[in-house]
Amino acid sequence: MRGEYFIVLKKEMLEILRDRRSMITLLMPIIMFPLLFSIINFQLKAAKKDDNEKTVLSITDENIKLLFPENKFDFCLTDTPENAVAEGKADCAVLNGENGLCVAYDASSVKSTTALNSVVTYLNMMRESAVYNEIVNCGGNADILNETLFEMRVISPESGNGSSSVLASLAPSLLIMLIFGGGMSVAVDAFAGEKDRKTLENLLLTKVRRGSLYSAKLTNVVIVSLVSMITSLSGYLIAISLNKDILLIFGESELILPPITVIMLILLVVTTTAIFASALMCFMSVASRGAKEAQLKLGIISAIPSILSLIVMYTENAKVSIGMMFVPILNSIAFIKLAFSGVINNSYMITATISNLAYALALSLIALRLFKREQVLR
Protein backbone atom coordinates (compact mmCIF):
# COMPACT_ATOMS: atom_id res chain seq x y z
CA MET A 1 0.00 0.00 0.00
CA ARG A 2 2.87 2.37 0.80
CA GLY A 3 4.51 1.61 -2.52
CA GLU A 4 1.45 2.51 -4.58
CA TYR A 5 0.90 5.63 -2.46
CA PHE A 6 4.38 6.97 -3.19
CA ILE A 7 4.12 6.05 -6.88
CA VAL A 8 0.94 8.12 -7.25
CA LEU A 9 2.43 10.97 -5.17
CA LYS A 10 5.55 11.04 -7.36
CA LYS A 11 3.36 11.16 -10.48
CA GLU A 12 1.33 14.08 -9.11
CA MET A 13 4.41 16.06 -8.06
CA LEU A 14 6.12 15.58 -11.42
CA GLU A 15 3.04 17.01 -13.13
CA ILE A 16 3.30 20.12 -10.96
CA LEU A 17 7.00 20.60 -11.67
CA ARG A 18 6.34 20.35 -15.40
CA ASP A 19 3.56 22.96 -15.27
CA ARG A 20 5.09 26.44 -15.65
CA ARG A 21 1.90 28.22 -14.62
CA SER A 22 1.83 26.37 -11.30
CA MET A 23 5.47 27.19 -10.61
CA ILE A 24 4.92 30.88 -11.38
CA THR A 25 1.91 30.95 -9.04
CA LEU A 26 3.96 29.42 -6.23
CA LEU A 27 6.90 31.81 -6.62
CA MET A 28 4.83 34.94 -7.25
CA PRO A 29 4.53 36.00 -3.55
CA ILE A 30 8.33 36.40 -3.26
CA ILE A 31 8.08 39.15 -5.87
CA MET A 32 4.59 40.45 -5.09
CA PHE A 33 5.06 41.27 -1.39
CA PRO A 34 8.31 43.28 -1.78
CA LEU A 35 6.80 45.12 -4.75
CA LEU A 36 3.59 45.92 -2.86
CA PHE A 37 5.44 47.16 0.22
CA SER A 38 7.85 49.21 -1.89
CA ILE A 39 4.93 50.95 -3.58
CA ILE A 40 3.27 51.68 -0.22
CA ASN A 41 6.54 52.93 1.24
CA PHE A 42 7.18 55.13 -1.80
CA GLN A 43 3.73 56.70 -1.61
CA LEU A 44 4.07 57.39 2.12
CA LYS A 45 7.48 58.98 1.67
CA ALA A 46 6.13 61.07 -1.19
CA ALA A 47 3.38 62.28 1.13
CA LYS A 48 5.81 63.49 3.77
CA LYS A 49 6.02 67.19 4.40
CA ASP A 50 8.77 69.48 3.19
CA ASP A 51 11.50 70.20 5.72
CA ASN A 52 10.31 73.81 6.05
CA GLU A 53 6.75 72.79 6.95
CA LYS A 54 6.26 72.01 10.61
CA THR A 55 4.30 69.16 12.15
CA VAL A 56 1.48 70.42 14.38
CA LEU A 57 1.06 68.59 17.68
CA SER A 58 -1.88 69.03 20.04
CA ILE A 59 -0.77 68.73 23.68
CA THR A 60 -2.16 69.13 27.19
CA ASP A 61 1.16 69.58 29.02
CA GLU A 62 3.62 72.44 28.39
CA ASN A 63 6.49 70.13 29.35
CA ILE A 64 5.89 68.04 26.23
CA LYS A 65 7.19 70.94 24.13
CA LEU A 66 10.67 70.29 25.52
CA LEU A 67 10.76 66.91 23.78
CA PHE A 68 10.55 68.28 20.25
CA PRO A 69 12.64 70.89 18.34
CA GLU A 70 10.74 74.11 17.65
CA ASN A 71 12.05 74.30 14.09
CA LYS A 72 10.28 71.05 13.24
CA PHE A 73 7.10 71.18 15.33
CA ASP A 74 4.34 73.60 16.19
CA PHE A 75 2.11 73.08 19.21
CA CYS A 76 -1.57 73.47 19.96
CA LEU A 77 -2.29 73.54 23.70
CA THR A 78 -5.80 72.23 24.31
CA ASP A 79 -7.85 70.23 26.80
CA THR A 80 -9.09 67.94 24.01
CA PRO A 81 -6.00 67.08 21.91
CA GLU A 82 -7.58 64.07 20.23
CA ASN A 83 -10.48 66.18 18.97
CA ALA A 84 -7.97 68.61 17.47
CA VAL A 85 -6.50 65.78 15.40
CA ALA A 86 -9.92 64.47 14.37
CA GLU A 87 -10.92 67.98 13.24
CA GLY A 88 -7.70 68.43 11.25
CA LYS A 89 -6.32 71.23 13.48
CA ALA A 90 -3.31 69.10 14.45
CA ASP A 91 -1.42 66.24 12.84
CA CYS A 92 -0.89 64.17 16.00
CA ALA A 93 -1.75 64.41 19.69
CA VAL A 94 0.85 63.80 22.40
CA LEU A 95 -0.50 63.50 25.91
CA ASN A 96 0.25 61.83 29.22
CA GLY A 97 -1.15 58.32 29.44
CA GLU A 98 -1.37 55.71 32.16
CA ASN A 99 1.95 54.11 31.16
CA GLY A 100 3.86 57.16 29.94
CA LEU A 101 3.21 59.15 26.81
CA CYS A 102 0.32 58.41 24.47
CA VAL A 103 0.60 59.33 20.80
CA ALA A 104 -2.79 59.59 19.10
CA TYR A 105 -3.14 59.87 15.33
CA ASP A 106 -5.71 59.65 12.56
CA ALA A 107 -5.16 56.34 10.73
CA SER A 108 -7.36 57.45 7.83
CA SER A 109 -5.14 60.47 7.12
CA VAL A 110 -1.83 60.02 5.30
CA LYS A 111 -0.74 63.39 6.70
CA SER A 112 -1.34 62.24 10.28
CA THR A 113 0.16 58.79 9.69
CA THR A 114 3.40 60.19 8.27
CA ALA A 115 3.57 62.74 11.11
CA LEU A 116 3.44 59.79 13.49
CA ASN A 117 6.75 58.57 12.08
CA SER A 118 8.44 61.87 12.97
CA VAL A 119 6.95 61.91 16.46
CA VAL A 120 8.04 58.35 17.20
CA THR A 121 11.54 59.05 15.87
CA TYR A 122 12.04 62.08 18.11
CA LEU A 123 10.59 60.34 21.17
CA ASN A 124 13.04 57.50 20.72
CA MET A 125 15.91 59.98 20.35
CA MET A 126 14.95 61.84 23.48
CA ARG A 127 15.23 58.73 25.62
CA GLU A 128 18.98 58.66 25.19
CA SER A 129 19.77 62.35 24.78
CA ALA A 130 20.92 65.08 27.12
CA VAL A 131 17.52 66.76 26.89
CA TYR A 132 16.35 64.52 29.71
CA ASN A 133 18.70 66.32 32.09
CA GLU A 134 17.69 69.67 30.65
CA ILE A 135 14.04 68.94 31.44
CA VAL A 136 14.93 68.21 35.05
CA ASN A 137 17.05 71.39 35.34
CA CYS A 138 14.20 73.50 33.97
CA GLY A 139 11.84 72.12 36.59
CA GLY A 140 9.87 70.03 34.14
CA ASN A 141 8.26 66.69 34.80
CA ALA A 142 10.82 64.02 33.85
CA ASP A 143 8.30 61.24 34.42
CA ILE A 144 7.01 61.73 30.89
CA LEU A 145 10.24 60.10 29.71
CA ASN A 146 9.89 56.95 31.76
CA GLU A 147 11.25 53.69 30.45
CA THR A 148 7.84 52.35 29.55
CA LEU A 149 7.09 52.22 25.83
CA PHE A 150 4.76 54.99 24.74
CA GLU A 151 1.30 54.02 23.59
CA MET A 152 -0.23 54.58 20.17
CA ARG A 153 -3.93 55.18 19.82
CA VAL A 154 -6.05 55.45 16.70
CA ILE A 155 -8.62 58.23 16.90
CA SER A 156 -9.93 58.21 13.34
CA PRO A 157 -13.74 58.28 13.34
CA GLU A 158 -13.76 55.95 10.31
CA SER A 159 -11.50 53.41 11.91
CA GLY A 160 -13.80 52.78 14.87
CA ASN A 161 -12.31 50.14 17.11
CA GLY A 162 -9.92 48.79 14.49
CA SER A 163 -6.35 47.82 15.07
CA SER A 164 -3.71 50.52 14.90
CA SER A 165 -1.54 48.22 12.82
CA VAL A 166 -2.56 48.07 9.18
CA LEU A 167 0.10 45.54 8.29
CA ALA A 168 -0.88 43.22 11.15
CA SER A 169 -4.42 43.22 9.77
CA LEU A 170 -3.46 42.97 6.10
CA ALA A 171 -0.79 40.26 6.18
CA PRO A 172 -2.93 37.37 7.60
CA SER A 173 -5.64 37.57 4.93
CA LEU A 174 -3.02 37.79 2.18
CA LEU A 175 -1.21 34.72 3.51
CA ILE A 176 -4.42 32.69 3.72
CA MET A 177 -5.62 33.76 0.26
CA LEU A 178 -2.27 32.81 -1.25
CA ILE A 179 -2.50 29.39 0.40
CA PHE A 180 -5.87 28.87 -1.31
CA GLY A 181 -4.56 30.31 -4.57
CA GLY A 182 -1.53 28.03 -4.59
CA GLY A 183 -3.40 24.79 -4.02
CA MET A 184 -6.66 25.53 -5.82
CA SER A 185 -5.59 24.72 -9.38
CA VAL A 186 -3.87 21.54 -8.19
CA ALA A 187 -6.94 20.37 -6.25
CA VAL A 188 -9.27 21.09 -9.18
CA ASP A 189 -7.03 19.24 -11.61
CA ALA A 190 -6.47 16.28 -9.26
CA PHE A 191 -10.09 15.13 -9.28
CA ALA A 192 -12.50 17.28 -11.32
CA GLY A 193 -9.89 17.80 -14.03
CA GLU A 194 -9.31 14.06 -14.25
CA LYS A 195 -13.06 13.58 -14.76
CA ASP A 196 -13.11 16.04 -17.67
CA ARG A 197 -10.14 14.38 -19.34
CA LYS A 198 -11.68 10.92 -18.77
CA THR A 199 -8.40 9.78 -17.18
CA LEU A 200 -9.90 9.16 -13.73
CA GLU A 201 -11.61 6.02 -15.04
CA ASN A 202 -8.25 4.58 -16.13
CA LEU A 203 -6.74 5.34 -12.71
CA LEU A 204 -9.60 3.61 -10.91
CA LEU A 205 -9.22 0.52 -13.13
CA THR A 206 -5.64 0.03 -11.94
CA LYS A 207 -4.71 -2.06 -8.91
CA VAL A 208 -4.08 1.08 -6.86
CA ARG A 209 -6.49 1.28 -3.95
CA ARG A 210 -8.77 4.28 -3.90
CA GLY A 211 -7.61 5.15 -0.40
CA SER A 212 -4.00 5.34 -1.57
CA LEU A 213 -5.01 7.25 -4.68
CA TYR A 214 -6.96 9.85 -2.74
CA SER A 215 -4.33 10.16 0.01
CA ALA A 216 -1.54 10.74 -2.51
CA LYS A 217 -3.49 13.42 -4.35
CA LEU A 218 -4.43 15.11 -1.05
CA THR A 219 -0.80 15.03 0.11
CA ASN A 220 0.26 16.67 -3.15
CA VAL A 221 -2.24 19.50 -2.63
CA VAL A 222 -1.05 19.93 0.97
CA ILE A 223 2.59 20.15 -0.19
CA VAL A 224 1.74 22.76 -2.81
CA SER A 225 -0.28 24.78 -0.28
CA LEU A 226 2.58 24.64 2.24
CA VAL A 227 5.09 25.74 -0.40
CA SER A 228 2.75 28.59 -1.26
CA MET A 229 2.58 29.52 2.44
CA ILE A 230 6.38 29.43 2.80
CA THR A 231 6.96 31.58 -0.27
CA SER A 232 4.27 34.00 0.93
CA LEU A 233 5.84 34.33 4.38
CA SER A 234 9.31 34.64 2.83
CA GLY A 235 8.07 37.37 0.53
CA TYR A 236 6.53 39.19 3.50
CA LEU A 237 9.78 39.02 5.50
CA ILE A 238 11.84 40.16 2.49
CA ALA A 239 9.46 43.07 2.02
CA ILE A 240 9.82 44.05 5.70
CA SER A 241 13.63 43.88 5.53
CA LEU A 242 13.72 46.06 2.40
CA ASN A 243 11.22 48.60 3.74
CA LYS A 244 11.97 48.94 7.46
CA ASP A 245 10.63 52.50 7.61
CA ILE A 246 7.14 51.23 6.92
CA LEU A 247 7.05 49.49 10.31
CA LEU A 248 7.09 52.74 12.27
CA ILE A 249 4.67 54.40 9.90
CA PHE A 250 2.08 51.68 10.47
CA GLY A 251 2.73 51.26 14.17
CA GLU A 252 4.49 47.91 13.86
CA SER A 253 6.81 48.91 16.69
CA GLU A 254 4.33 46.98 18.84
CA LEU A 255 5.94 43.75 17.61
CA ILE A 256 7.92 43.12 20.78
CA LEU A 257 8.47 39.36 20.58
CA PRO A 258 11.59 37.92 18.89
CA PRO A 259 10.85 37.50 15.15
CA ILE A 260 11.83 33.81 15.21
CA THR A 261 9.26 33.16 17.97
CA VAL A 262 6.50 34.83 16.01
CA ILE A 263 7.47 33.02 12.81
CA MET A 264 7.49 29.58 14.45
CA LEU A 265 4.09 30.11 16.08
CA ILE A 266 2.60 31.45 12.86
CA LEU A 267 4.02 28.50 10.93
CA LEU A 268 2.37 26.08 13.36
CA VAL A 269 -1.09 27.62 13.01
CA VAL A 270 -0.90 28.43 9.29
CA THR A 271 0.48 24.96 8.48
CA THR A 272 -2.61 23.35 9.95
CA THR A 273 -4.72 25.90 8.07
CA ALA A 274 -3.00 24.83 4.84
CA ILE A 275 -3.88 21.20 5.65
CA PHE A 276 -7.52 22.17 6.30
CA ALA A 277 -7.66 24.27 3.11
CA SER A 278 -6.26 21.36 1.08
CA ALA A 279 -8.81 18.94 2.53
CA LEU A 280 -11.62 21.41 1.77
CA MET A 281 -10.46 21.98 -1.82
CA CYS A 282 -10.09 18.24 -2.47
CA PHE A 283 -13.55 17.61 -1.03
CA MET A 284 -15.07 20.23 -3.35
CA SER A 285 -13.19 18.82 -6.33
CA VAL A 286 -14.40 15.26 -5.63
CA ALA A 287 -17.99 16.45 -5.14
CA SER A 288 -17.97 18.42 -8.42
CA ARG A 289 -18.96 17.03 -11.80
CA GLY A 290 -16.23 18.86 -13.67
CA ALA A 291 -13.43 21.40 -13.47
CA LYS A 292 -15.68 24.40 -14.16
CA GLU A 293 -18.04 23.50 -11.34
CA ALA A 294 -15.12 22.95 -8.97
CA GLN A 295 -13.53 26.27 -9.93
CA LEU A 296 -16.83 28.07 -9.34
CA LYS A 297 -17.27 26.54 -5.88
CA LEU A 298 -13.66 27.14 -4.84
CA GLY A 299 -13.75 30.66 -6.25
CA ILE A 300 -16.60 31.48 -3.87
CA ILE A 301 -14.82 29.80 -0.96
CA SER A 302 -11.56 31.64 -1.66
CA ALA A 303 -13.39 34.94 -1.04
CA ILE A 304 -14.11 33.91 2.56
CA PRO A 305 -10.65 34.98 3.91
CA SER A 306 -11.28 38.52 2.62
CA ILE A 307 -14.61 38.70 4.44
CA LEU A 308 -13.22 37.25 7.65
CA SER A 309 -10.20 39.58 7.54
CA LEU A 310 -12.57 42.56 7.63
CA ILE A 311 -14.17 41.16 10.78
CA VAL A 312 -10.79 40.72 12.45
CA MET A 313 -9.41 44.04 11.19
CA TYR A 314 -12.10 45.99 13.03
CA THR A 315 -11.88 43.86 16.16
CA GLU A 316 -9.65 45.03 19.00
CA ASN A 317 -7.01 42.56 20.15
CA ALA A 318 -8.63 42.41 23.59
CA LYS A 319 -11.93 41.31 22.01
CA VAL A 320 -10.45 38.36 20.14
CA SER A 321 -11.98 35.39 21.96
CA ILE A 322 -11.16 31.71 22.14
CA GLY A 323 -14.43 31.04 20.33
CA MET A 324 -12.83 32.45 17.17
CA MET A 325 -10.16 29.76 17.41
CA PHE A 326 -12.77 27.07 16.72
CA VAL A 327 -13.65 28.61 13.35
CA PRO A 328 -11.31 27.49 10.55
CA ILE A 329 -9.54 30.24 8.59
CA LEU A 330 -10.85 32.86 11.04
CA ASN A 331 -8.65 31.36 13.76
CA SER A 332 -5.49 31.76 11.67
CA ILE A 333 -6.29 35.33 10.63
CA ALA A 334 -7.01 36.34 14.24
CA PHE A 335 -3.97 34.52 15.65
CA ILE A 336 -1.54 35.99 13.10
CA LYS A 337 -2.87 39.47 13.76
CA LEU A 338 -2.28 39.01 17.49
CA ALA A 339 1.19 37.58 16.87
CA PHE A 340 2.26 40.53 14.75
CA SER A 341 1.01 42.80 17.52
CA GLY A 342 3.21 40.99 20.03
CA VAL A 343 0.38 39.05 21.69
CA ILE A 344 0.83 35.28 21.96
CA ASN A 345 -1.81 33.17 23.70
CA ASN A 346 -0.86 29.50 24.04
CA SER A 347 -4.44 28.33 24.57
CA TYR A 348 -5.49 30.11 21.36
CA MET A 349 -2.64 28.48 19.46
CA ILE A 350 -3.44 24.97 20.71
CA THR A 351 -7.18 25.38 20.08
CA ALA A 352 -6.66 26.68 16.55
CA THR A 353 -4.19 23.92 15.70
CA ILE A 354 -6.37 21.08 16.98
CA SER A 355 -9.52 22.55 15.40
CA ASN A 356 -7.89 22.85 11.97
CA LEU A 357 -6.62 19.26 12.08
CA ALA A 358 -10.01 17.95 13.28
CA TYR A 359 -11.88 19.71 10.47
CA ALA A 360 -9.31 18.50 7.91
CA LEU A 361 -9.69 14.90 9.08
CA ALA A 362 -13.50 15.08 8.94
CA LEU A 363 -13.49 16.52 5.41
CA SER A 364 -10.94 13.95 4.24
CA LEU A 365 -13.04 11.05 5.53
CA ILE A 366 -16.18 12.38 3.85
CA ALA A 367 -14.34 13.02 0.57
CA LEU A 368 -12.77 9.54 0.66
CA ARG A 369 -16.20 8.00 1.17
CA LEU A 370 -17.49 9.89 -1.89
CA PHE A 371 -14.40 8.91 -3.87
CA LYS A 372 -15.02 5.21 -3.23
CA ARG A 373 -18.50 5.39 -4.75
CA GLU A 374 -19.16 4.69 -8.42
CA GLN A 375 -20.96 8.04 -8.69
CA VAL A 376 -17.58 9.76 -8.47
CA LEU A 377 -17.22 9.29 -12.25
CA ARG A 378 -20.46 11.13 -13.02
The band of 296, judged by pLDDT with boundaries at 50, 70 and 90, is very high
- Give yes or no for residue 158 having a pLDDT over 60: no
Name the architecture of domain 55-154. 3-Layer(aba) Sandwich (3.40)
Q: Mean per-residue pLDDT for 8-22? A: 85
- Give residue 279's pLDDT: 94
Q: Mean per-residue pLDDT for 154-173? A: 51
- For residue 65, which phi and psi values (nearest 5 degrees)? -60, -30
Q: Mean per-residue pLDDT for 281-307? A: 89
- Give yes or no for residue 357 having a pLDDT over 90: yes
Helix (H, G, I), strand (E, B) or coil at 77: strand
- Inter-residue contact 255 to 288 (CB < 8 Å): no
Q: Where are the domains of the chain?
A: 2-40+164-377, 55-154
Sequence-separated (6 or more) residues with CB below 8 Å from residue 362? none
C-alpha distances in Å from residue 230, one per residue of 58, 160, 207, 237, 264: 44, 33, 35, 11, 12
Burial profile 1-14: b = 16 or more Cβ within 10 angstroms, e = fewer: eeebbeebbeebbe
Instruction: State how far the Cα of 136 lies from the Cα of 371, in Å rounded to an integer.
Output: 77
Instruction: State how far the Cα of 300 lies from the Cα of 291, in Å rounded to an integer.
Output: 14
Q: Which helix H or strand E contains 73, and what residues bound it? A: strand 73-77
Q: Mean per-residue pLDDT for 89-104? A: 80
- Give yes or no for residue 336 having a pLDDT over 50: yes
Query: What pTM was computed for the model?
Result: 0.66
Fill in the DSSP letter of residue 5: H
pLDDT tens-digit profile of 181-226? 878 889 999 899 888 888 888 888 888 888 899 999 999 999 998 8
- Inter-residue contact 162 to 107 (CB < 8 Å): yes
Q: What is the DSSP string of 83-127?
A: HHHHTTS-SEEEEEETTEEEEEE-TT-HHHHHHHHHHHHHHHHHH
Amino acid at 93: A
Instruction: State how far the Cα of 88 lies from the Cα of 90, in Å rounded to an integer.
Output: 5
- Give yes or no for residue 252 having a pLDDT over 50: no
- Give residue 129's pLDDT: 61
- Give yes or no for residue 117 having a pLDDT over 80: no
More confident residue, 307 or 261: 307
The band of 354, judged by pLDDT with boundaries at 50, 70 and 90, is very high
The percent of residues in the chain predicted with pLDDT above 90, rounded, is: 15
- Give residue 142's pLDDT: 52
- For residue 57, which phi and psi values (nearest 5 degrees)? -115, 135
Instruction: State how far the Cα of 378 lies from the Cα of 366, in Å rounded to an integer.
Output: 17
